[in-house]
Structure 1
Amino acid sequence: MRTCLEINDLTKAFPGVLANDHVNLKVFEGEIHAVLGENGAGKSTLMKMIYGLYKPDAGMIRLFDQELHFSSPRQAIEAGIGMVHQHFMLIPELTVAENIVLGSETGKFHYRRKENEELVRKLSERYHLDIDPSVKVKDLTVGLQQRVEILKVFYRKARLLILDEPTAMLTPQEAVELFTVMDKLRSQGVPIIFISHKLEEVTKISDRITVMRAGRSVATLETKSTNPQELANLMVGHEVLLQVIKPPQAAGETILQVKNCVVSSGRVDKVKGCSFEVCRGEIFGIAGIDGNGQAELISAITGLGRIKSGRIIFKGQDISSFSVRQRIGAGIAYIPQDRQLDGLVMDFKLTENFILRDFAQKPYAKLGQFQRKVIEQHAARLAEDYDVRPRGIQSLARNLSGGNQQKVILAREVSRDADLLIAAQPTRGLDVGAIQFIHDKLLELRAKGKAILLVSLELDEIIALSDRIGVIHEGKLMDILPGGNVTKEELGLLMTGVALAKEG
Structure 2
Amino acid sequence: MSTVEAAPPRGTPVVELTGITKRFPGVVANSDVNLTVRAGEVHAICGENGAGKSTLMKILYGMQQPDEGTIAVNGRTLRLRNPQDAIRAGIGMVHQHFMLADNLTVRENVLLGAEGLHGIGRAAGARIAELAERTGLHVHPDTLMERLGVADRQRVEIVKVLYRGARIVILDEPTAVLVPQEVDALFETVRDMRRHGFTFLFISHKLDEVRAIADRVTVIRRGTTVGTVDPKEVTSRELAEMMVGSELPSPGARESTVTSREVLRVRGLRLVAEGSERAVLDDVTFTVHAGEVLGIAGVEGNGQTELVETIMGMRRATGGTVELVTDGTAHDLTRLGTLARREAGIGYIPEDRTRHGLLLTKPLWTNRILGHQTRPPVARGPLLDLAGARADTRRIVEDYDVRTPGIEVPAAALSGGNQQKLVVGRELAGDPVLLIAAHPTRGVDVGAQALIWERIRRARAEGLAVLLVSADLDELIGLSDTIRVMLRGRLVSEADPATVTPEDLGCAMTGTAPADATEDES
Category of TM-score, reference length = shorter chain: over 0.9
Matches of 1:472 and 1:61, distance apart in 2: 47
**Deviation per CA, 1:161-203, whole angstroms, max 9, x where unpaired?**
1111111122211110010011111112211111111111000
TM-score (norm. length: structure 2): 0.90
Q: Which residue of 2 aligns with 1:4?
A: 14
**Deviation per CA, 1:328-364, whole angstroms, max 9, x where unpaired?**
2322111122222222233443333333344334564
**Deviation per CA, 1:392-450, whole angstroms, max 9, x where unpaired?**
33443333322222222222221211211111111111111000000000000111121
Q: Which residue of 1 aligns with 2:4?
A: none
User: For 1:100, which of 97, 101, 110 is the aligned residue?
Assistant: 110
SS in 2 for 1:354: helix
User: For 1:20, which of 30, 43, 49 is the aligned residue?
Assistant: 30
1:246 matched to 2:246? The reply is no
Residues 93, 370 of structure 1: alpha-carbon distance in 2 compared, 3 angstrom cutoff = closer
Figure out how many residues of one structure are paired with residues of the other and give that number. Answer: 501
Asked whether the equivalents of residues 111 and 120 of structure 2 are also in contact (C-alpha less than 8 Å), the reply is no
Asked whether the equivalents of residues 121 and 131 of structure 1 are also in contact (C-alpha less than 8 Å), the reply is no
The Cα shift of 1:72 comes to: 1.4
The Cα shift of 1:131 comes to: 4.8
Q: Any residues of structure 2 matched to 1:43-122 within 5 Å, and which?
A: 43-105=53-115, 111-112=120-121, 114-122=122-130
**Deviation per CA, 1:277-329, whole angstroms, max 9, x where unpaired?**
11111110111222221121111111222110011122133221223233223
Asked whether the equivalents of residues 478 and 497 of structure 1 are also in contact (C-alpha less than 8 Å), the reply is no
Identify unmatched segments of 5+ residues in structure 2.
1-10
Letter in 2 for 1:246: A
User: For 1:379, which of 393, 398, 423 is the aligned residue?
Assistant: 393
Matches of 2:513 and 2:441, distance apart in 1: 28
User: For 1:278, which of 278, 282, 288 is the aligned residue?
Assistant: 288
Matches of 2:140 and 2:300, distance apart in 1: 23
Asked whether the equivalents of residues 383 and 391 of structure 1 are also in contact (C-alpha less than 8 Å), the reply is no
User: For 1:192, which of 200, 203, 206 is the aligned residue?
Assistant: 200
Asked whether the equivalents of residues 117 and 164 of structure 2 are also in contact (C-alpha less than 8 Å), the reply is no
**Deviation per CA, 1:6-36, whole angstroms, max 9, x where unpaired?**
1111111122221111111111111110000
Asked whether the equivalents of residues 374 and 381 of structure 2 are also in contact (C-alpha less than 8 Å), the reply is no
Q: Which residue of 1 aligns with 2:271?
A: 263
Identify unmatched segments of 5+ residues in structure 1.
none
Q: Which residue of 2 aligns with 1:178?
A: 186
Letter in 1 for 2:231: T
Matches of 1:121 and 1:380, distance apart in 2: 55
SS in 1 for 2:466: strand
Residues 61, 260 of structure 1: alpha-carbon distance in 2 compared, 3 angstrom cutoff = same
User: For 2:324, which of 299, 314, 328 is the aligned residue?
Assistant: 314
Asked whether the equivalents of residues 257 and 461 of structure 2 are also in contact (C-alpha less than 8 Å), the reply is no
Q: Which residue of 2 aligns with 1:160?
A: 168
Q: Which residue of 2 aligns with 1:349?
A: 363
**Deviation per CA, 1:73-108, whole angstroms, max 9, x where unpaired?**
111111111111112223334333333233334799
Asked whether the equivalents of residues 240 and 433 of structure 1 are also in contact (C-alpha less than 8 Å), the reply is no
Asked whether the equivalents of residues 236 and 248 of structure 2 are also in contact (C-alpha less than 8 Å), the reply is no
Q: Pick which of 351-360 and 171-180 moved more.
A: 351-360
The Cα shift of 1:149 comes to: 1.8
**Deviation per CA, 1:57-85, whole angstroms, max 9, x where unpaired?**
22111111111111111111111111111
The Cα shift of 1:498 comes to: 3.4
The Cα shift of 1:111 comes to: 4.1
Q: Pick which of 85-94 and 424-433 moved more.
A: 85-94
Matches of 1:319 and 1:282, distance apart in 2: 21
Asked whether the equivalents of residues 254 and 498 of structure 2 are also in contact (C-alpha less than 8 Å), the reply is no
1:455 matched to 2:469? The reply is yes
Matches of 1:126 and 1:349, distance apart in 2: 46
RMSD: 2.5
SS in 1 for 2:440: coil
Matches of 1:320 and 1:146, distance apart in 2: 36
Matches of 1:274 and 1:118, distance apart in 2: 45
Q: Pick which of 360-369 and 341-350 moved more.
A: 360-369
Identity percentage over the alignment?
Answer: 44
1:31 matched to 2:41? The reply is yes
Letter in 1 for 2:204: S
Matches of 1:29 and 1:379, distance apart in 2: 47
SS in 2 for 1:47: helix
Residues 283, 368 of structure 1: alpha-carbon distance in 2 compared, 3 angstrom cutoff = closer
Q: Pick which of 79-88 and 386-395 moved more.
A: 386-395
Q: Which residue of 2 aligns with 1:144?
A: 152
Q: Which residue of 2 aligns with 1:435?
A: 449
Matches of 1:34 and 1:448, distance apart in 2: 39
Letter in 2 for 1:476: R
Q: Pick which of 72-81 and 240-249 moved more.
A: 240-249
Letter in 1 for 2:264: L
**Deviation per CA, 1:219-254, whole angstroms, max 9, x where unpaired?**
100111111111111111x22342234142152122
Matches of 1:154 and 1:141, distance apart in 2: 20
User: For 1:324, which of 330, 333, 338 is the aligned residue?
Assistant: 338
